[in-house]
Structure 1
């Protein structure tokens, strides 16, 4: 029977698969760190109070990239380039979700709508990240090699999701509710399709590395398509709801470091 624990255990136990997994994760986290850093630098005057929180978000993402690189180093492995078809962040950008990198590389301040779009996109993608890390903590939170890493990253992702909820609710109360809901729905529907495609690409590469039989690869692909069908029908609604989080001002303090891990 296929289980998440069993699949990830296979990946952890194989150096080549583990190298690919950590490299893809490090690339995505560091890309997110750069994006948040640029957004923090370009926040419009009307929302300058958000800049430190956005910068904290970016610092956390950079830290996660360093953690994945440290995991590779501990195994005696080097980071490899993530295959383009597995680049979740860049594929989302090509789909028009989030802020274009061309705009982030410039010097023009962002607009208030840009900040709303950033937070709506982040609320959706951080839901995915938080859910994935919660699963990994359940399966591997006590693992001697990766347990501390997944617990640390999982706590940060929960903070990021809480921050998105809180800030979007503030903006909704300021009169941006309809814009927020439209952007959330657009982001969620695009994200679930990108997540399906990236998941298929990653599992295809893992299958070749781990020499999975065709039946196993076909079953995994069918499961990924089934998740997409559910999310496309009703599951996306969970990604667009907003509620005041238990963790208030989750990104209001100084960022933690990965020193104790690395």
Structure 2
């Protein structure tokens, strides 16, 4: 029987599929860390109170990248080059979602709208990250190898999502509500397309490594397309709603010192 747990267990049990999974995850987290670090450095003068929170966001992403690399090291594996079609964060940028790298590479302060775009993009992508990590948390929170990593990353992703909600609501109260909703909708619709394409690509690569049957690959592909159809119809709406989070000021202080994963 196909299930999220059985599929991930299959990927975990094979060195090559596990190496590809961790390499893809580590690459995305490292890119997110760089982006947040640059945004923190370029926050406009009128919004400098946000800079420490953005920096904290970036530090968490960097930490997640180190965690995935540590998981590889524990298995005696090295990261592999990430196939272009599986690079979620790069493909989002190619679709014009978020702040372009050439913009972030310049020593020029961002605008208020740039910060809103960053927060809206993060609100959408952190929704996805939070949901994915909660899925892994449900099945692998007590796993002897993955458990600690899953718990740590899931907590961080929930904090990032809460931070995005709170800051966007602050901007909405300041009169930017229409802009926020417009950018959120644009990001959400682009994200669900990219997520579908990346999911299909990852499953194709995993299928080649694990030698899945054509029937199994077809079934998984159909499931991905069905999820996309649902998200295109109504599921995207969960990515654009805003609500005051239970956890307030989730990134308002430096990360508490903790023993590095590895």
Normalising by structure 2, what TM-score? 0.99
Q: For the residues of structure 2 that align with 1:44 and 1:165, how far apart are their CA atoms? A: 20
Q: Point out where structure 1 has 5 or more consecutive residues left out of the alignment.
A: none
What residue in structure 2 maps to residue 3 of structure 1?
3
134 and 110 in structure 1: CA distance in 2 versus 1, 3 angstrom threshold: same
Q: For the residues of structure 1 that align with 2:16 and 2:101, how far apart are their CA atoms? A: 31
Q: For the residues of structure 2 that align with 1:21 and 1:257, how far apart are their CA atoms? A: 28
- Answering whether residue 144 of structure 2 is matched by residue 141 of structure 1, we say no
Residues 180-259 of structure 1 mapped to structure 2, 5 A cutoff? 180-256=180-256, 259=259
Question: Would the aligned equivalents of 1:60 and 1:256 in 2 still touch at CA under 8 Å?
Answer: no
Q: For the residues of structure 1 that align with 2:247 and 2:81, how far apart are their CA atoms? A: 36
Q: For the residues of structure 1 that align with 2:170 and 2:16, how far apart are their CA atoms? A: 45
1:261 deviates by 2.1
What residue in structure 2 maps to residue 42 of structure 1?
42
Q: For the residues of structure 2 that align with 1:72 and 1:257, how far apart are their CA atoms? A: 23
- Answering whether residue 124 of structure 2 is matched by residue 124 of structure 1, we say yes
SS at match of 1:81: coil
Q: Point out where structure 2 has 5 or more consecutive residues left out of the alignment.
A: none
Q: For the residues of structure 2 that align with 1:261 and 1:164, how far apart are their CA atoms? A: 26
Q: For the residues of structure 2 that align with 1:156 and 1:131, how far apart are their CA atoms? A: 12
Question: Would the aligned equivalents of 1:63 and 1:258 in 2 still touch at CA under 8 Å?
Answer: no
Q: For the residues of structure 1 that align with 2:259 and 2:78, how far apart are their CA atoms? A: 20
1:227 deviates by 0.3
Q: For the residues of structure 2 that align with 1:190 and 1:124, how far apart are their CA atoms? A: 10
Question: Would the aligned equivalents of 1:119 and 1:168 in 2 still touch at CA under 8 Å?
Answer: yes
Q: For the residues of structure 1 that align with 2:183 and 2:120, how far apart are their CA atoms? A: 6
Question: Would the aligned equivalents of 1:88 and 1:194 in 2 still touch at CA under 8 Å?
Answer: yes
1:260 deviates by 4.2
SS at match of 1:79: coil
Question: Would the aligned equivalents of 1:42 and 1:107 in 2 still touch at CA under 8 Å?
Answer: yes
What residue in structure 2 maps to residue 155 of structure 1?
155
Considering only aligned residues, what root-mean-square deviation do their CA atoms show, in Å? Answer: 0.8
Question: Would the aligned equivalents of 1:43 and 1:110 in 2 still touch at CA under 8 Å?
Answer: yes
